[in-house]
Amino acid sequence: MAVRERSSFHGADTQFLDPAVLSRIGNLELLARTVVDGFLQGLHRSPHLGMSLEFAEHREYMPGDDIRRIDWRLFARTDRFYVKLFEAETAADFMVVLDISKSMSFGTHTVTKLDYARYLGAALSYFSQKQRDRVGIATFDHEIVDYIPPSTRHLQRILHTLVRAQPGRPGTLRDPLMRLGDNLHHRGIILILSDFYEEPESVIGAVRHLRARGHDVIVFHLLDPAELDFTYESAASFRDLESGTMVPIVPDELGDEYRALLAQHTAELERLFTGSRIDYTVLDTSKPLDYALFRYLSSREQMARVR
Amino acid sequence: MSLLAPLFLLGLLGLAVPIIVHLTERQRRNVVDFPSLMFLRKIPFRSTQRRRIHHWALLSIRALALALLVAAFARPFLANTEVAIGSTLGPREVVVVLDRSYSLGYGNRWDRAKNQARQVFQGLDASDRASLVFMGRGAEALLRATSDRDRLLAALDTASLSADGTLYGPALKLAQTILEESQFPNREAVIISDFQRTGWKGDEGVTFPPGTVVTPVLISDDATPNATVASVTLRRDFFSGQERMTATARVVRRGGDAPADRTIMLEVDGQEVQTQFVRLDPTGSATVTFEPFTLSDLYTRGSIRLGSDALAQDNELHFVLSPGRAMRTLVLEGATPRPDASLYLRTTLEISEEESFQVDVRRSTSLSAADLAATDVVVLNDTRFPQGATADRLRGFVEAGGGLLLVLGERSAWQTGLDEFLPGRFGPARDHTRGAARLGYLDYTHPVFELFSGPRSGDFARARFFRSRDLEMGPEGRVLARFDDGSVALAERRLGEGYVLVWTSTMDAFWNDLAVQPVFLPFIHQMMRHLGGYRERVPWFTAGQVLDLADPEGMVFVADRDRELAPDVAQVALTPGGGSVALPATDGPRFLELEEQGFYEIRPPGTNPERPFAVAVNVDVTESELESMDPAELAAAVAPRETSGDLSASGELLTPDLQARNQERRQSLWRLLMVAALVLLLAETAISNWISRAATMRFEDGRSYVQST
């Protein structure tokens, strides 16, 4: 179960990864640099991954594999067919897909979900830029609001887009992501930042469209602690940020069932994403960004392997 | 129970506020923005949970406490505790004034009224005294200042409704007298009535003695639809030599919501003559005319009966009729009259719808005893006055009740001895030189001119008089009319039981033109009726009236005194209810109280004449108007002066001391309510704390479970 999974990464100096600290940094580029450099410094590992055609391992030939990747030398020695697996190739397209629907403006901690998504988007864009990837961004609510195609020179525009992204309208996933998939002609890595307040089948239907076009998709499900714990005490009218409708709620009576439903929702999303070979991570916006960065790097590392 | 500050009851509306707020889901002050209600909406149960009231007991306690607080602020007080309180202060003198007018016969009012009186008597202590006064148009103290409760209750049980109307004055005056005679410190007057406004004049002058508690007990109904036979008009006419009566009844309906069809029946001598249907609108009236019936017998009894309703007494009206008797008039013209000297007079008397006059014109002045016996009025029309024995017979005739009209003309001549016969001494004829004289003065108080006293009821001023005889009035004469020059036109003198009238001008168109004026006919008729002692028979009396059978002046309206009610003959009156009233022979008055509705039959005891003298008695129709007055108004009017300004809501009046104590006692309810409210609030505090604590523990358990998950 991915919900409330704790970071198992240790060693990085998380002082500059805490959202409460990052919220004091007004410049998003400085923020991204602080995050990435601080994170990678603590990682003690080269940031340049997949920069060459480096052999990784052999795997037994399976019907359907490209016969050009058969290692004939090994066949000569072992009389068996093996194919070579290499590290990822050079610069890929990295696309940040940011949900800026009204629900993303929610936050009971020091930052909102959108702020947290900004930090992540900026940091990972900066990180990808440093890896000489082509970076782009698309923001959407019920339609695509801003779209910057992937390019090695678009980091400033991306940061600028992130800064001025304002939540205001209700959002959906299907139409924007379908349209985005149609616009992305090169396969790349797509990072989706959203709170996914849609039925799991609808979510996976939209995201699977990107996956079907050959993109590697990484999904960060952003949730505020209040959404995760539902720690409200007094009875109140709860107003849906997107629709504006109000429902009288007695948290004492609803908390358990709400949490169960949320857990059921995230579990279903995880099951569906995993089934589609999409990395899915639930992020608590009160936690430092290190876990998200680590998950991203892990995903990139796995994606870099060519199967 | 009443309230001193009833507006505080508006505070009860506050009970609904928390419930409405709770149920209408409108908590605008505490709104929490949440990213999405996607999951919360999947829990519809919570919405109903939200609307459901979980702690009914708590809500009930709170609502009850609030209601009690509101009630305490409204200052409730008991309205009918004076009698009970008074009983603890010493012996009481209680006067129960019980209305037994026939309007109490509406529905079950009479039983309710007696029950109220019974409750008062049953609530008496051994030391108390009570009186029972019946109220009608008069008053009757059935029991006076007695402590015998059994007698009071027995008297109440045997009491019955009367046919009387309502008049508050006599009964209240009697109650006042009883209370004033009492030495008891506590005096109470309990007035049990339907408090009809028609019986209250406001100037009864009744004031109960100081310290009297007045308790009006209203016996009423929400709606009082009632139909009444208000009146009957009886018209005589002659057809083929028979006298016929046509009865026209006026029926009045008060109250009701829709038109109602009722039957109305005419009975004559107990036999149904005709039945009709009449449609009565709510608060409307209708007139029903029955077919004429022949009237041939004395004392014919008739009744108009309307279909029954809640008040039966006013649905029938009885009358007694006898055939009319024509007034015989003998006109004497003398041996050589002017031509047609009596033409107008005779014609006028012959013109009568009811054929109430018989005219005989003779050219002679001789009068035999037989002539006078068959005559009611003698007219000497411009002729010499009889002399000798004829004059004596004429004088005897007048003194026995006959009438004499002397019409002066050219042939009239003064004779010796007429001074004792006529109202004055007449002189020679005199022409009115300054044009024609007119009648300038009429004594409208006299029966002859009483008919013309109203406006547009006869214009004598149009008649012109050219010549008349002077009349020098004697000491016993009375001038009834004068010409505008002051001379006498008509004068009267009473002789014994009869009257002598002198008309100083002619009764034709020779000396005046009165005979061709419209007023001539009614004037002559009135004059003849007056002289003949004619009295319209009274077809019925009203219950409560008293008939003096020995009074000829009164009885002339109902019976032939000579035949029926000789004073030296004992009589017995049979009442409509079957009782009898002895009327022994006496020189003094013989009173018969007409108390019951129906026919009274009066005859010598032991006899059974075929058609005895009878009178009809009907209820007073004003009593059938059932509109009630405010009992407090009556109570305030009869209250002791020093407390007249202090009326309770029910109209009861107290002495200042008793009132202060009663007020304190009656208004002390608010303290009890306040204490009860405080107790409930304390209980509510304890219960809500307990519930809150339990809920907190449950909530904390829930939180720890989530966090550990």
The pLDDT tens digits for B486-497 are 999 999 999 988
Nearest to A252 among B26, B41, B699 (CB): B699
Distance between first and last Cα of chain B: 64
- Cβ neighbours of A259 in B, within 8 Å: 706, 709
| Of A197, A249, A252, Cβ closest to residue B695 | A252
Confidence of residue B289 (pLDDT cuts 50, 70, 90): very high
Q: Which of B391, B398, B428 is nearest to B412 (CA)?
A: B428
Tokens (6 digits) for B268: 């004559």
C-beta atoms of A249 and B46 within 8 A: yes
Contact (CB<8Å) A237/B25? yes
Q: Please report the domains of chain A, with CATH numbers, ordered by start residue.
A: 55-86 (no CATH), 91-302 (3.40.50.410)
CA pair distance B384, B408, nearest whole angstrom: 9
Question: Does residue A249 contact residue B51 with C-beta atoms inside 8 Å?
Answer: no
Tell me which of A141, A254, A285 to substitute to probe the interface with B (most B C-beta atoms closer than 10 Å): A254
At B318-331, the pLDDT tens digits run 999 888 777 889 99
Nearest CA among B295, B241, B292, B300 for reference residue B269: B300
State which residue of chain B sits closest to A199, comparing Cα positions.
B38
Q: In whole angstroms, what is the distance from residue B224 CA to residue B226 CA?
A: 6
Token readout for A288 is: 């430092």
Contact criterion met (CB below 8 Å) for B195 and B634:
yes
Kindly determine whether residue A250 and residue B25, on different chains, have CB atoms separated by under 8 Å. no
**Option in B25, B36, B702 nearest A242 (CB):** B36
Cα–Cα distance for residue pair B673/B682, rounded to 1 Å: 14
Amino acid of residue B38: M
Of A106, A240, A265, the CB nearest to B37: A240
Nearest 10 degrees: CA dihedral of B264, B270, B273, B277?
Answer: 10
Residue in B33, B702, B706 closest to A239 by CB: B33
Give the number of A-B residue pairs with CB atoms closer than 8 Å.
Answer: 104
The more confidently predicted of residues B29 and B196 is: B196
Under an 8 A CB cutoff, do A254 and B43 touch?
yes
User: To 10 degrees, what angle do helices B669-708 and B56-73 make?
Assistant: 150
Cα gap A273→B372, rounded to integer Å: 144
- pLDDT, tens digit, 9 for 90 and up, residues A149-186: 888 888 888 888 888 888 888 888 888 988 888 888 88
Band of pLDDT at residue B703, cut at 50, 70 and 90: very low
Question: For residue A269, which of A210, A195, A209 has the smallest C-alpha distance?
Answer: A195
* B 24-43 near A (Cβ less than 8 A): 25-28, 30-43
Using the beta-carbon criterion (under 8 Å), do A237 and B42 form an inter-chain contact? no
Interval B364-393 mean pLDDT: 87
| Distance in angstroms (rounded) separating the CA atoms of residues A59 and B566 | 158
Q: Check: CB of residue A215 under 8 Å from CB of residue A242.
A: no
Angle at B88 between CA B84 and CA B89, to 5 degrees: 120
| pLDDT greater at residue B356 or residue B421 | B421
Nearest to B256 by CA among B238, B274, B277, B283: B283
Q: Rounded to a whole number, what is the distance in Å from the CA of A14 to chain B's nearest CA? A: 24
Question: Which DSSP symbol is given to B225?
Answer: -
- On average, the pLDDT of chain A sits at 79
Give the CA angle between residues B61, B67, B69 to the nearest 5°: 105
Q: B653: which DSSP letter?
A: B
Which of the residue ranges A141-155, A272-286, B12-26, B39-53 would you say has the lowest mean pLDDT?
B39-53
Residue B555: C-alpha distances to residues B111, B322, B548, B614, B620 (Å): 39, 14, 8, 12, 21
Q: Is the pLDDT of residue B81 over 70?
A: no
Please give the pLDDT value at position B709. Answer: 27
Contact in structure between B263 and B314 (CB atoms under 8 Å): no
- Name the residue in chain A with its Cα closest to that of B25: A248
Residue of B nearest to A194 (CA): B35
Residues with Cβ within 8 Å of residue B655, at least 6 apart in sequence = B210, B211, B213, B640, B642, B643
- Alpha helices, DSSP H only, in chain A? 19-22, 28-43, 72-78, 113-130, 155-164, 174-183, 200-212, 225-229, 251-275, 290-303
What is the mean predicted confidence (pLDDT) over A47-76? Answer: 72
Predicted local distance difference test score (pLDDT) of residue B126: 87
Give chain A's length: 307
Does the beta-carbon distance from B49 to A250 stay under 8 Å? yes
The pLDDT, as a whole number, for residue A277 is 83
A-chain CB neighbours of B25 within 8 Å are 237, 246, 248
Q: Say what the pLDDT of residue B701 is.
A: 47
Chain B hits for A265, Cβ within 8 Å: 39
Q: B48 touching A, CB under 8 A?
A: no
What end-to-end distance do the CA atoms of chain A give, in Å? 27
Mean pLDDT of A42-68: 63
How far is B86 from B80, CA to CA, in rounded Å?
11
The H-or-E segment that residue B636 falls in is: helix B631-638
Q: Are strands B541-542 and B613-618 parallel, antiparallel or unpaired?
A: parallel
Hey, what are A194's tokens? 């959203």
Look at residue B3 and tell me whether its pLDDT is greater than 90: no
Strands B260-268 and B300-306: antiparallel
pLDDT of B241 higher than 80: no
Integer Cα distance of B248 and B233 in angstroms: 5
| Residue A93 identity (one-letter amino acid) | D
Instruction: Give all domains of chain B, ordered by start, each with its CATH number.
Output: 2-75+670-708 (no CATH), 91-223+634-653 (3.40.50.410), 237-324 (2.60.40.10), 327-530 (3.40.50.880), 541-621 (2.60.40)
| Contact across the interface for B35 and A245, Cβ inside 8 Å | no
Average the pLDDT over each of A240-249, B598-607, B644-653 and give the range with the smallest value: B644-653
Orientation angle between helical segments A28-43 and A113-130, nearest 10 degrees: 60
B695 interfaces chain A, CB cutoff of 8 Å: yes
Whether residue B100 contacts residue B134, with contact meaning beta carbons closer than 8 Å, is answered with yes
Stated pTM of the model: 0.51
Yes or no, beta carbons of B32 and A254 under 8 Å apart: no
Q: What is the CA radius of gyration of chain A?
A: 21
Q: Please give the Cα distance from A261 to A247 (Å, whole number).
A: 17
Q: Is the pLDDT confidence value at B702 over 60?
A: no
CA distances from B298 to B50, B195, B563, B570, B613 (A): 93, 41, 12, 21, 8
| B370 three-state secondary structure | helix
Closest CA to A192 of A51, A292, A90: A292
DSSP for residue B512: B
DSSP state of A103: G
Cβ neighbours of A255 in B, within 8 Å = 702-703, 706
pLDDT digits (tens, 9 = 90+) for A233-252: 777 888 888 888 888 787 87
Longest dimension (CA), chain A: 75
CA A240-A246-A250 angle, 5° bins: 100
For residue B306, with 0-12 CB atoms within 10 Å meaning exposed, 13-18 middle and 19 or more buried, which class applies? Answer: buried
Using a CB–CB cutoff of 8 Å, tell me whether B701 touches chain A: no
Q: Which of B36, B42, B49 sits opposite A103 (nearest CB)?
A: B36
Q: Assess: ipTM above 0.90.
A: no
DSSP-derived 3-state class of residue B94: strand
In the block, residue with structure tokens 């009611």: B376
| Average pLDDT value for chain B | 83
- Under an 8 A CB cutoff, do A241 and B32 touch? no
User: What is the distance in angstroms between the Cα of A61 and the nearest Cα belonging to chain B?
Assistant: 45
Task: Provide residues of A within 8 Å CB-CB of chain B.
Answer: 103-104, 106, 113, 195, 197-198, 224, 227, 229-243, 245-250, 252-259, 261-262, 265
Are A255 and B46 inside 8 Å of each other by CB?
no
Average pLDDT, integer, range B383-395? 88
Contact A252 B49 (CB under 8 A): no
| 8 Å CB contact of B35 and A257 | no
Closest-CA residue to B621 (of B318, B339, B340): B318
Q: Smallest Cα–Cα separation from B213: which of B657, B611, B563?
A: B657
Instruction: Give the tokens for residue B89.
Output: 């202060």
pLDDT band at residue B644, thresholds of 50, 70 and 90? Answer: very low
Nearest CA to CA, how far is B61 from chain A (Å)?
Answer: 23
Going by their DSSP bridges, the two strands B591-593 and B580-583 should be labelled as unpaired
Q: How confident is the model at residue A14 (pLDDT cuts 50, 70, 90)?
A: very low
Among A198, A243, A248, select the one facing B50 at the smallest CB separation: A248
pLDDT digits (tens, 9 = 90+) for B185-221: 788 999 999 999 888 888 888 888 888 889 999 998 8
What tokens appear for B184 in the block? 């008891």
DSSP-derived secondary structure letter, A7: P
Instruction: Give the residue from chain B lying closest to A241, CA to CA.
Output: B35
Q: How many angstroms separate the CA of residue B32 from the nearest CA in chain A?
A: 5
* Cα B86 to the center of its chain, rounded Å: 37
* Residue A20 in this model has a pLDDT that exceeds 70: no
- Whether A258 sits inside 8 A of B36 (CB atoms) is no
